[in-house]
Amino acid sequence: MHINNGWLTLAERILSPNIDDRPEGTAIDLLVIHNISLPPNQFGGGHIAELFTNCLNPAADDYFAEICGLKVSAHLLIDRLGAITQFAPFTQRAWHAGVSQFSGRERCNDFSIGIELEGLEHHPFEGAQYERLRQLIWSIQAAYPTVGDVVGHSDIAPGRKEDPGRAFRWEFFD
């Protein structure tokens, strides 16, 4: 996997409007792993991309009516089959972390890359997702040598977030 001007060359690109510039001079040094399924407990259907591009139809599902006004994104999504979609170049800030803190620094969106795995906290992730995530981590760290820590959303927003959850196998990366 190669990264060119902040874009992963093999990923499908769908640009999210929910991004902006990182603070000047801010090094990217953190990867944040998330999970998402839309509607909850369902996979596939393209609804994650709709959410990240502000195109979610509130009439399509009761849950969509609750969340359609959210302005969120991530840099990357790895679906259940291991396919990757990129919604923001790594050089820009995606809106994935919310209120967050890591090692005494707040606003983790400023200095992190957010990777969503299609999945649930309590449901096993697929081997293809772990393999793609491993490849992504290597590629990102090669392109951005300042990236060292890989954490879950729960690590930067404890008590507020649980993802990637108890089903995520951190030992896969040891």
Catalytic residues: 116
- Cross-strand partners of 105: 102
Q: How far apart are CA 119 and CA 40, in angstroms?
A: 9
Strands 84-86 and 92-94: what pairing? unpaired
**C-alpha closest to that of 116 among 44, 38, 32:** 32
Residue with tokens 């972390």: 97
What helix, strand, coil percent values describe the chain, rounded to 5?
A: 25, 25, 55
Q: In what order do the strands lie in the sheet with 84-86?
A: 12-13, 84-86, 76-78, 112-118, 30-36, 149-152
